[in-house]
Structure 1
Amino acid sequence: MAKLLYSASMSLDGFIAGPGGDMSWLSEYMAPNPPIDGLVGDIGALLIGNRTFRGDDPNKGTENEGAYGGAWEGPQIVVTHHVPDEPVPGVTFAGDLAGGVAAAREAAGEKYVSILGADIARQCLAAGWLDEVLVCVVPVLLGDGVRLFDVPGGTNVKLERIGLSEAALASNLWFRVVG
């Protein structure tokens, strides 16, 4: 069965997007990252939150537009209560988290389901479905924005580090969720 992997680039102070979901900050930190670039072939489907789907791609309008710098192609499942009137090629819409996760796992087969979006990742974690977290820490402090995980009142989730690697502009930390 497919594992659910939440992967994101994050500022050192814990933000994956700036205020209002702005992703433009990430543009200057986009550089080859061999461990992440190699992951693309292990992804079978994307599970995307509504805000991320409708959000700001730091590569918009370039040849690198899209997930993983435009390198990934395949099934995309968007969890939303607001399905667009017009079909979107290559995108399936799910009205709830359980349906979205089931569709993404089926589409991914034995490969990873890559989760895109902080809120959808938080929901998967709360439901006990999140298997792994991969964070690319980039050398910048944003000070405000969308946190990697935002759980008002806090929570304590144990993680086991399963990988650590360096790239030109990021330190990659890979964890398994253990409880």
Structure 2
Amino acid sequence: MGTMLYSATMSLDGFIAGPGGDMSWLTEHLGPNPTIDELIGDIGALLVGNRTFGGDDPHQGDQEKEGEPFGGGWSGPQFVVTHRPPAAPVPGVTFMEDLGSAVSAAKAAAGDKYVNILGASIARQCHEAGVLDEVLVCVAPVMLGDGVRLFDHPGGSAVKLERRSVSHVPHAVNIWYRVIR
């Protein structure tokens, strides 16, 4: 079944979103990235946290890309973990209250492809549940000073990682890790 991959673009000082979940900083750091372009074709399903699903969009104002995973570069089943699903259904999105059920459903939908995890809180929960397999971080050349951290675990919790690859593009350095269990 699908490998659980947490991917995110992060500022050099460790934030994936600015204060209040602001994603506007990311817009200028989006662009051609062969690592991401290749990954998109290998994603079978998304596992998304509720704050990320309903949050700010770096493609805000772009009618073709806004609200679409990877700016419209990917389509497929999405599983959003939330205790407050919307009243109206959202095409292609399944809302689930239980992380374990959502992980199982996403893995089944992904088949042999990746389940791409979007959102810091849901990634931390996947780590705590022992289901996080890999982490891909695209480090952007900017420091935000505040916001949502890539990984935040009050009281600390070391996650041992083994580097799989490093690649460079003009607007980021991609670092791909495997989680050591």
TM-score by length of 2: 0.97
Instruction: Give the Cα separation in 1 of the matches to 2:98 and 2:111.
Output: 20
Partners of 1:156 and 1:43 in 2: CA distance? 27
Shift in Å, 1:121: 0.2
In 2, Cα distance between equivalents of 1:171 and 1:20: 25
Tell me which amino acid in the other structure corresponds to 2:142.
V
Q: What does residue 17 of structure 1 align with?
A: 17
> 1:162, CA displacement in angstroms?
0.4
Find the counterpart in structure 1 of residue 101 from structure 2: 99
SS of aligned partner of 2:25: helix
Tell me which residue corresponds to 2:65: 64
2-side partners of 1:28 and 1:133: how far apart?
A: 23
Q: CA deviation at 1:50?
A: 0.3
How many pairs were matched up? 179
Report the counterpart of residue 136 of structure 1 in structure 2. 138
Instruction: Tell whether 2:150 aligns with 1:151.
Output: no
Root-mean-square deviation over aligned CA pairs? 0.8
In structure 2, runs of 5+ residues without a counterpart are none
Distance across 1 between alignment mates of 2:97 and 2:24: 29
For the residues of structure 2 that align with 1:61 and 1:107, how far apart are their CA atoms? Answer: 31
- Identity, in percent, stands at 68
Mapped partners of 1:60, 1:4: distance in 2: 27
- State the alpha-carbon separation in 2 of the partners of residues 60 and 84 from structure 1: 21
Greater Cα offset, 56-65 or 98-107:
56-65
Equivalent position of 2:4 in the other structure: 4
CA distance in 2, matches of 1:177, 1:20: 29
Q: CA deviation at 1:31?
A: 1.2
State the shift of 1:61 in Å. Answer: 3.2
Aligned to 1:55: 55
Per the alignment, residue 162 of structure 2 pairs with 160
> 1:64, CA displacement in angstroms?
2.7
Offset, 1:167: 1.1
* Worse-matched range after superposition: 21-30 or 133-142: 21-30
TM-score when scaled to structure 1?
0.98
Shift >3 Å, 4+ stretches: none
The residue aligned with 2:177 is 175
